Amino acid sequence: MCPHSRRALLGIGTTLVVSAAGCLSDTGSEDDEPPADSTDDGPLSSLFATVPGDAVDESMSLSAIDDSRLREVGAMELVGPFDLARGTLLEDVFADGMSVTRRVTALHFEQESFVMAFRLEDVSFDPEQDLAVTLEDGITTRRRDDGPDYELVTLESGAVIGVADEIGVVADAESTVEAAFDARNGDAPGVREAVSSFDDALAVFPDADVRTVVTDADEWSRTYEELAAEDGEYLLLTARVRDPDTLEIGHALSVTDESVITDALIEQFEQSIVDADETVDTAVEGSLLKATETIDLESRRRAAAHESPGGLRPDELAAGEEFVEIEVTTGDPTPVSELVLEVDGEPYDEAIWADGDEEIAAGDTIRIRTADAEPNVSIALRHETEYGTTAETKLYSEFAFAFDYDLDARTVTVRYEDEYPLDGDGVVVAVRENDDLLSGDTDPLKRTRPWTGTEPSTGATATLEGVDPGTVALVGWEGDTFREALAWERIRPPGEATVDYDYETRTATVELALEDGRTWPASEYRLLVDGEPAATQWTDAGETVSDGDRLELEDVSVGTSIEVVWGEDALRIGSATARPDVSFDLAVEERTVTLVHDGGPALPASELVATVHVDDEETDVALGERVDGAFAPGDTVALLDLERDDPPLKVRVQYDGHHIEDAYDGEL
């Protein structure tokens, strides 16, 4: 159906807690009667009867959504994460003006398999106007011996849409559309008759306006680590509009036997319910875990209309000032009575920070005493209403320090170059392994408090010995990891290396840049090609190297990795991937995307593939199928036709499978 995998198309590799429910809706009148033997699901009954049981199995996910009810109370975005089709091709099938009122969707997580029955608000269907995707051909009529005829249209992606008797079907194949109308006519079972686990799950919260069921254990096992795949039956998420200001969310997890339900599983189940406006109680009904939560829609509407104060921007630290001012750069006027300022995790005196103001908004300032403003201290302004947000920052996490490294002596000297008088008792100077800088899981290689009992002034120094290249020196406040760092610097080996690649001659020139006019042992520097030592090395020319020394590599193909490393630990001092120095541009006219060769050498089109990124979808275009011979400066090639005007675009060009350049159109 599409140029990439089904999982990539659907984008549903996350757990159901963050992705589940339907995509398109159902077309027809409110009093449309379902077949006599169907389960009574109210307005959704006719759609459940239309999704063909022959096309669905328990490895698929099923969702049913009454969009019209959710739109009435403005809750579409809240249940959006339940939508199986969000971020997929199905989400973008209908044009913006096309109003879907109800839908039942079944999607297969792994295979090219999906079917959706939908109802549209406007029963007249014009694919040229109502669809936001490219059509493969025009609309045709399919005649049926038993039951109504239906109109059929095939999309360029390969999906098929059929419409008859005010009911529409989107599916991966025409045979599935035909099976849907057979089921609709009562000639074949619908999904609830065919898959008992779906029928059981849908009955747990029968009045819900959204019901999403997943029976594939792979899709929920990452949420419920306590649940073995073979012990689960289905996971269910629902939403019901209880009244115009209240949305009720239902959760259920069914397992094979009640003995599987442990305290740990119940705890994980409750932890997955993160959006409740009240305490959530879990009911255990045999082998079923079940819970409901409520969402106060009116409170959320108010919160959406009000931006909490944020964007905290501290002034520079000045020792002679009594207060440190912090600018609030965003937010609507908010009563101070609803705000709490925390300094280092503790509430701060409102009389100080608010300075008598009754409201705080963008453009205002709050303050703390300079005596309380230690380096790296955390500041948090909390809007303590139901849906208020918190703004956080740190005071003075950067100070001016210089790091001087002496490779011969293996010492690093840290020099304080700021004017603010730091309390030396809090300053730590340390050296860590580069890969341990963030985690701090191990003790530092070196650590000292050089200025205990003093206030280091400008020019104060501290020296650490036994420091090797490849490590990181840092100055911390009350700590020795990156989180507490006021300044830091990587200790680098001597020199840098640059690589200049000439595509037309297939040669690469590697040059050393060394400071201070010094020479260094050539044996310390190694040239690697695709991770292996190159045939030519600096030791071939002598025992030492100096600034500007070069090596030449021949017969270097595009995509070759070239790097220079130093010392026994092979510390990298320069690297590059061989690629032609070429540039591309994009032109978009009448929805056609054209790639333009904007400069650089001519390239064989047979080696080039352009990947077009638009609206989270990717399309690969082999230029050799559209261009004969070379793709040269000034040449153009049409890549694809867009389904809408002016989407942001990126085109990534590869040469023999190796990325060489990108081209953009619009803000991505």
User: Do 58 and 111 fall into the same domain?
Assistant: yes
Q: 209-223, 309-323, 531-545, 639-653: lowest mean pLDDT where?
A: 209-223
Range 337-362 average pLDDT: 96
Q: Per the domain annotation, does 202 fall within a domain?
A: no
User: Do 410 and 539 fall into the same domain?
Assistant: no
Residue with the larger pLDDT of the pair 125 and 551:
551
pLDDT of residue 25: 27
- CB of 163 closer than 8 Å to CB of 150: yes
Of 395, 425, 452, the one marking the end of a domain is 395
**Torsion of the alpha carbons at 76, 79, 80 and 83, rounded to the nearest 10:** -120
The span from the CA of 510 to the CA of 171, in Å, is 56
Range 54-63 average pLDDT: 86
Instruction: Report pLDDT digits (tens) over 552-608.
Output: 999 999 999 999 999 999 999 999 999 999 999 999 998 899 999 999 999 999 999
Of 301, 321, 339, the one marking the end of a domain is 301
Cβ within 8 Å of residue 42, ≥6 positions away: none
Considering 238-252, 304-318, 478-492, 625-639, the range whose residues carry the highest mean pLDDT is 625-639
Q: Per the domain annotation, does 79 fall within a domain?
A: yes
The span from the CA of 36 to the CA of 48, in Å, is 13
Residue 217 has pLDDT above 60, yes or no: yes
Strand boundaries in 42-184, DSSP class E: 60-66, 100-108, 114-120, 140-142, 150-154, 160-164, 167-171
Range 356-364 average pLDDT: 96
The span from the CA of 65 to the CA of 584, in Å, is 45
User: Do 479 and 501 fall into the same domain?
Assistant: no
- CB of 198 closer than 8 Å to CB of 52: no
CA atoms within 13 A on the CB side of 664: 4
Residue 36 has pLDDT above 60, yes or no: no
Cβ within 8 Å of residue 153, ≥6 positions away: 127, 131, 135, 137, 138, 139, 140, 160, 161, 162
pTM, rounded to two decimals: 0.57
Range 251-280 average pLDDT: 82
Q: Per the domain annotation, does 199 fall within a domain?
A: no
DSSP classification of residue 70: H
The span from the CA of 167 to the CA of 183, in Å, is 12
Q: Per the domain annotation, does 465 fall within a domain?
A: yes
Residue-wise DSSP of 602-625: -EEGGGEEEEEEETTEEEEEEGGG
State the first-to-last Cα distance of the chain, in angstroms, to the nearest integer. Answer: 26
User: Do 215 and 352 fall into the same domain?
Assistant: no
Of 364, 395, 426, the one marking the end of a domain is 395
Confidence of residue 4 (pLDDT cuts 50, 70, 90): very low
Range 367-396 average pLDDT: 89
User: Do 519 and 426 fall into the same domain?
Assistant: no
Token couple for 462: 């501290």
User: Do 381 and 456 fall into the same domain?
Assistant: no
User: Do 46 and 179 fall into the same domain?
Assistant: yes
User: Do 427 and 389 fall into the same domain?
Assistant: no
User: Do 14 and 154 fall into the same domain?
Assistant: yes
User: Do 448 and 535 fall into the same domain?
Assistant: no
Q: Per the domain annotation, does 531 fall within a domain?
A: yes
Sheet of 411-416: strand order equals 401-406, 411-416, 461-465
Mean pLDDT of the chain, nearest integer = 85
Token couple for 146: 């038993």
Q: Which CATH number is 652's domain given?
A: 2.60.40.10
The span from the CA of 127 to the CA of 109, in Å, is 28
**Residue range(s) defining the domain that contains residue 621:** 583-665
Q: Which CATH number is 563's domain given?
A: 2.60.40
Strand boundaries in 373-513, DSSP class E: 377-383, 390-395, 401-406, 411-416, 427-433, 446-448, 461-465, 471-477, 485-490, 496-502, 507-513
Instruction: Report pLDDT digits (tens) over 226-235.
Output: 888 888 899 9
pLDDT of residue 6: 25
- CB of 189 closer than 8 Å to CB of 61: no
Residue 274 has pLDDT above 90, yes or no: no
Domain count, the chain: 6
Q: Per the domain annotation, does 198 fall within a domain?
A: no
User: Do 427 and 452 fall into the same domain?
Assistant: yes
Q: Per the domain annotation, does 518 fall within a domain?
A: yes
User: Do 169 and 67 fall into the same domain?
Assistant: yes
pLDDT of residue 209: 92
DSSP classification of residue 30: T
Range 456-469 average pLDDT: 96
Cβ within 8 Å of residue 5, ≥6 positions away: none
Residue with the larger pLDDT of the pair 137 and 215:
215
Q: 48-62, 269-283, 509-523: lowest mean pLDDT where?
A: 269-283
pLDDT of residue 21: 28
Q: Per the domain annotation, does 609 fall within a domain?
A: yes
How many helical (H) and strand (E) elements, i.e. helices and strands, does the chain have?
11, 46
Strand boundaries in 24-99, DSSP class E: 60-66
3-state SS class at 358? coil
Range 80-96 average pLDDT: 66
Q: Which residue has the tokens 């020394």?
A: 549
Confidence of residue 87 (pLDDT cuts 50, 70, 90): low
